[in-house]
Amino acid sequence: MTIEPITRNAPPLPGRTIASQRWSDLTFLHWRVEPDRVAPLLPPGVRPDVHDGATWVGLIPFLLDRATLLGSPPVPYFGSFVEINVRLYGVDADGRRGVIFRSLEASRLAAVVAARATFGLPYFWAATGMSHDGDLVSYRSKRHGGGPTSLVVAKPGDVIEADPLADFLTARWGMFVARGGRTRFLRNEHAPWTLHAAHLVDLDDQLVTAAGLPGVTDRAPDSVLFSPGVTTRFAAPVRGGG
């Protein structure tokens, strides 16, 4: 099997754009984990994608806005919220690389319902927010109904040049979604990331544990990055998993 290469530039999006979103002020926290630990959490036909002998668990908070669906204009309220997601990295039998979302927190209930119904994504309704204090950016989330919480405080630093690990973690042009016993693959595209090194100031997270990976956030992340953001476009899902 030939695995598609990691490239900072997205391949052309197949077919028409069915949705778009602006992602802003993203902090990428990542931890190395053993591939065998992650494998049972992936959709059928998808195995862990590995870099430097490990696969990686991501906790990524950011502002999502200017969301469109099926050619609609940007939705001014329900299409704007702070999201915090937990994600893994996989590759299927066709060599396609993509992310797998274990959970996504969002403060707009209508957006949660729409994303679950349209794409089968594991969105959860939560009280989320983001704030800036000087050169610090803070994100918070508390799932409604007494569920897991998360607090991330980071300090962005200098812009970094192309880095193999940073590219592996961020230059992802698709996602795998398990739905109805089948795996679907959705392509996406956006401009190359502008990435900054970042320093984690504070972390108090329960989301990664709730996503099936207890103990991971008990230690410092192995990678901390920041990006001002990109505008992302999505194609219709196709069969995934090989």
Q: Is 12 a domain residue? A: no
Q: Quickly state the pLDDT bin for 67 (edges 50, 70, 90).
A: confident
Between the two ends of the chain, the Cα-to-Cα distance in Å is 11
Would the pLDDT of 236 be above 90? no
Number of domains in the chain: 1
Domain of residue 209, residue span:
19-239
Answer for the pair 124, 143: CB distance below 8 angstroms, yes or no. Answer: yes
The answer to whether residue 4 is domain-embedded is no
Residue 2 inside a domain? The answer is: no
pTM score = 0.94
In a domain, 3, yes or no: no
Report pLDDT for 242.
58
Q: Mean pLDDT of all residues in the chain?
A: 93
Amino acid at 43: P
Is 76 a member of any domain? yes
DSSP helix, strand, coil percent of the chain (3-state; round to 5): 15, 50, 35
For residue 195, CA distances in Å to 14, 136, 158, 160, 192 come to: 26, 16, 8, 6, 9
Tens digits of residue pLDDT in 74-128: 565 556 899 999 999 999 999 999 999 999 999 999 889 988 887 889 999 999 9
Give 22-32 pLDDT, tens digit per residue.
Answer: 999 999 999 99
pLDDT band at 70 (very low <50, low <70, confident <90, very high): low
Is 9 a member of any domain?
A: no
- The answer as to whether 1 is a domain residue is no
C-alpha–C-alpha distance, residues 12 and 8, integer Å = 13
> Which CATH number is 164's domain given?
2.40.400.10
**Does residue 8 belong to any structural domain of this protein?**
no
